[in-house]
Amino acid sequence: MDVRVGDVVRLKKPHPCGSFEWEVLRTGIDFRMRCIGCSHQIMAPRVQIEKNIRAIRREGETE
């Protein structure tokens, strides 16, 4: 799956703040992501995140 730094990904389950969207800050074997709703940052394994992605919005793209 082609996920790049700066992309906003929509996941299956919401963060406790209610937001489904996360901004990708770092890629590799792990992803570092920031919640769009509350700015909480996490590091999670690539396979776990790729399994839970519903949509990817590229940097600079409009809806």
Contact (CB, 8 A) for 53 and 10: yes
- The pLDDT tens digits of the residues spanning 15-61 come to 999 999 999 999 999 999 999 999 999 999 999 999 999 999 987 66
In three-state form (DSSP H/G/I as H, E/B as E, the rest C), the secondary structure along 29-57 is: CEEEEEECCCCCEEEEEHHHHHHHEEEEE
Q: Which residue, 26, 36, 31, 23, is CA-closest to 51? A: 31
Which strands make up the sheet holding 41-45, listed edge to edge?
41-45, 30-35, 21-26, 8-11, 53-57
pLDDT at 63: 59
pLDDT at 59: 73
